[in-house]
Amino acid sequence: MPSAAPGGTRMLILDEMQARGHESLKLLHHAPSGLRGVLAVHSRVLGPAIAGVRLREEDEELAVRGALALSESLTLKAALAGLNYGGGACVLLMPEAGVEDPHAREALFRALGRQVQHMNTRVVLTEDIGVTPADIAFVAQETPATLGMNTDTSSVTGYGVYRGMKAAAKHALGAESLRGVRVAILGVGAVGRTLAQHLSREGAKLTVADFRPDRAQALAEELGHVTVVPVGEIFDVPCDVFAPCGFGHSVQSADVPRLQCRLIAGGEHHPLTRRGEEAVKEAGIMYVPDFAINSAGLIAAATGVNMDQAGERVYQTVSRIMSVATQYGKPPHVVARKMAERRIDLIGSLVHV
């Protein structure tokens, strides 16, 4: 994990934790199962921290920074969604031997459950990128603090993004109908693919790109009338809505001047850095933040509501954000953060009643 050298990476990580207001950061390790990862808890003001579990091939520092960013996003997402949960994130590094062997996969996730067993009143684990409901079921054999085993969260999330995009389009584009609207989607994994399917049914004009070109091509063949471009060219595509649905920070600050859209609304966690958010604001592009628009899967897993009900809650939340942003002339991402922080402050104050 990050170096402990004075003034080195670990000190920068600790500075970032303090700046973001994190409660804790736990390193996870179990050599026999290949478990290596990090669990970040941002806030438990509203309740136990929901931690999405990701399994990815990436280096240690990116895993730590990703967990810090994701856990803050989960805090804001749960608050805006009206859930009584805080925010956390668990990022696992892909074991060197992989997890193709089903017994190895079981061992990995049961080891994770054992490692967080003592935190079951503080942290609740659920699925995220690279993790399935079956994996969370393995975790549940070791700790009761799990969610999402019976929910197809990716499909529900994708539908929620679609509903949130319609709510945002009503203000940004003048109508909530997406028929004929040009949408550029970066990343067509489970969430991006579901979003594209709903948009295609409504008659949107789609351009897609993915770091796995074969996946983008397969989607285009499935839906028809879809344009596929390389990832490096998607930012230059004339469109009305740009929908990032990748792994995070897909839109670099330097990419913002290339964007030819009026609205950014996608399922990706933290598609923009803080500097990128400022660049989007200066460019006059409306940005609906991830924690406002990609919460349907979490809502369904946490409350048991169905896809339509979870999507409707996202629609109402985004509508409220866009209405306030329009009324006061503020960027939607700023309004969304302030709304989430206000609920945290108000509900958090009840401990003193």
Q: From the annotation, which residues make up the binding site for NAD(+)?
A: 187-192
d(C-alpha 185, C-alpha 307), whole Å:
22
CA angle 295, 326, 169 (to 5 degrees): 55
d(C-alpha 87, C-alpha 263), whole Å:
27
What lies within 8 Å, CB to CB, of 321 at 6+ separation is: 288, 292, 332, 335, 336, 339
End-to-end CA distance of the chain: 42
- Residue 202 phi, psi dihedral angles, 5° rounding: -85, -10
Contact present, 181 and 203 (Cβ < 8 Å) = no
What lies within 8 Å, CB to CB, of 136 at 6+ separation is: 53, 109, 125, 126, 127, 146, 147, 148, 149
Q: Which of 66, 85, 94, 125 has its CA nearest to residue 269?
A: 66
